[in-house]
Structure 1
Amino acid sequence: MLNKLLTTGIFLFLSCFSIWAQNKENTEKPEAIPDEVVVDSIIKIKKTINPLSPAKAAFYSAILPGLGQAYNKKYWKIPIVYAALGTGIYFYINNNNEYNRYRDAYKSRLAGFTNDEFYLDANGVELTTPRVTDDGLRRAQKLFRRNKEISLLVTVGIYALNIIDANVDAHLLQYNIDKNLSLAPHYKINERDASSNLGLTLNFKF
């Protein structure tokens, strides 16, 4: 009986000593705080979408053609815009000048004069009969007036396309073109009946 009590007492003493030693070690060696936090490289912060960007691009192109393309950083489109607008304006001015020539000559003949430019040859000598008749002057006025109106419509259309292009480009720049999201056609031959299968494959990687 005495031996059991002695053995039990020694066991309890050793257990208490072990617990006290562990508590002391925990208090003397606290856990070290990491110097830096490493962020997982998989997480990527994407560029925020500006819903007003298309409206701004269209507004800039309306104020000054090509300015919306510059806002979208599509600088190579600016010379195309000005070349197209310049061509339309050139043909409008040219047709307008020709229309005024024939109109002035026709008005001069209606007033009874025979000294318009079509009564003169290449050397400036006055002719007895004009190079262009009155009916020819009327037809020329109709022709150049129609060409002038078409040139004006084309120029206005190019100006409108300049605005639309800037707006659409700003929309497309905000679309998701991540490599993890792809849509590609696929072509596969069926080995059983030697037929071909054509379709589209949509891949989305998380």
Structure 2
Amino acid sequence: MKQVIALFIVVLLFTLPLFAQQPAINPAPTPAPVDSTAQLRSTPDTIPPAVQQKGRIGTDGTPRPIRVGSSVLTPEGGSETLASDTVQVTAKQEAQIRKIIPRKATIRSLILPGLGQAYNRQYYKIPFIYAGFGVMGYLFVKYKGLANQAEEGYRLLLYGRKISDKVYEPVDSVVIGTQIIRTTTGAKAGYDLYRRYRDLNILLSVALWGINIIEANVAAHLKTFDLSDDISMRIEPRVLPVPGAGFVPGVRVAFTFK
């Protein structure tokens, strides 16, 4: 009996795999390893030829840049960022600017006020210059007349009004401008004051002439100021010697003028 049972168990162990449930879908085979950077390395870092032909070739057959925002694309795939603080001038403007010579502007303003400003093509400054000279001229004439009245009034109060060669009539008061003066001291003080104002207007007129010359020279230099890349400022790291501390890191600011 025991032998029959053992034989039955052995037969059962060999037949169970035959009745086991088979999987409905066989698993997919494992893919072969692929280099993920091969595609990136094979992609050319350039602008497609269609874009180059359409956007980079001008009417004269010369290549022209493709502008995207503030950058310029190049055929090699790079870009150049346009400097936003650079003044762009045309060839005609450049030719006009280079014709201005500061020395000529200075000499012309020295000869005649406003002539240097006209040479610099800054005509709007000329009326202000002559308005200043007009005010100075008006005040000079005004105070010169008052000074002459004060001088004559001083003589009348001191000696009197002349009637004949040897006869003078005493004078109690004189009129200087809108004021009535009764003493020689007041007449002398008025004469000194008006003469000082008269001389001050002469000095201010000379100063205005000098300012006109300096302004023409400075404006001519500014109009011929070089706006190219030759003028630049560079900030570079640098090691600086410090007494007692050896060498310490620092920053070097370099200005380039040409």
Q: Percent identity?
A: 30
- The runs of 5 or more residues in structure 2 that have no matched partner are 1-59, 66-89, 162-170, 234-252
Which one has a larger percent strand, Structure 1 or Structure 2? 2
Deviation at 1:49, TM superposition (A): 4.0
Task: Report SS of the residue matched to 1:60.
Answer: helix
In structure 1, list runs of 5 or more residues that go unmatched. Answer: 1-35, 123-129, 184-199
Distance 2:172 2:115 in 1: 50
Rounded Cα–Cα distance in structure 2 between residues aligned with 1:87 and 1:178: 43
Q: How far apart, CA to CA, are the structure 1 residues paired with 2:158 and 2:198?
A: 24
- For the pair 1:158 / 2:158, whether they are aligned, the reply is no
Q: How does 1:5-84 map to 2 (within 5 A)?
A: 47=95, 49=98, 53-84=101-132
Larger Rg computed on CA atoms = 2
Query: How many pairs are equivalent?
Result: 147
- What TM-score, normalized to structure 2? 0.46
> Are 1:148 and 2:198 counterparts?
yes
Please give the TM-score of this superposition, normalised by the length of structure 1.
0.57
Structure 1 runs, 4 residues or longer, greater than 3 Å off: 36-41, 44-50, 178-183, 200-203
**Mapped partners of 2:208, 2:150: distance in 1:** 29
Match runs of 1:42-191 below 5 Å: 47=95, 49=98, 53-113=101-161, 114=171, 117-118=174-175, 131-178=181-228
Alignment RMSD, CA only? 3.7
| Shift in alpha-carbon separation, 1:137–1:156, aligned structure 2, 3 A | same
CA distance in 2, matches of 1:156, 1:132: 37
Aligned-partner residue type, residue 156 of structure 1: V
1:148-186 CA-to-partner distances (Å, cap 9, x unmatched) read 111111111001111111111111111023589677xxx
Task: Give the 3 Å change call, closer, same or farther, for CA 131–117 of structure 1 in structure 2.
Answer: closer
Alpha-carbon shift at residue 118 of structure 1 (Å):
2.8
Greater helix share, structure number:
1
The one-letter amino acid of 1:73's match is R
User: Is the partner of 2:123 in helix, strand or coil?
Assistant: coil
